[in-house]
Amino acid sequence: MRTAFLMAPEGVEEIELTEPWKAVIRAGWNPQLVSTRAGQVRAYHHLEKAGRFTVDHVLAGDTAEAFDALVLPGGLANPDALRTDRRAVGFVRSFFEAGKPVAAICHAPWMLVEADVVRDRTLTSWPSLATDVRNAGGTWVDEEVHVCRAAPSTLVTSRKPADLDAFCAALVKEFVAT
Q: Which of 106, 146, 148, 168 is catalytic?
A: 106
Question: How much is the pLDDT for 178?
Answer: 79
pLDDT at 52: 98
The Cα–Cα gap between 138 and 119 comes to 5
Q: What is the pLDDT of residue 41?
A: 97
The reply to whether 107 belongs to the active site is yes
pLDDT for the residue numbered 61:
83
Nearest Cα neighbor of 19 from 167, 158, 155, 154 is: 167
Find the catalytic residue in 57, 107, 146, 148: 107
pLDDT tens-place string over residues 26-48: 999 999 999 999 999 999 999 99
Query: Going by C-beta distance under 8 Å and a sequence separation of 6 or more, which residues neighbour residue 131?
Result: none
| Residue 9 · residue 39 · CB < 8 Å | yes
Mean pLDDT in consecutive groups of 10 residues from the start of the chain, 178 residues: 96 98 98 97 95 96 94 96 96 97 98 98 98 98 98 96 98 94
Question: Nearest Cα to 67, choosing from 108, 98, 22?
Answer: 98
How far apart CA 105 and CA 166 sit, in angstroms, is: 11
Helix axes 164-177, 14-26, angle to 10 degrees: 40
C-alpha 126/C-alpha 173 separation (Å) is 22
Q: What is the pTM of this model?
A: 0.97
Q: Look up the CATH number of domain 2-177.
A: 3.40.50.880
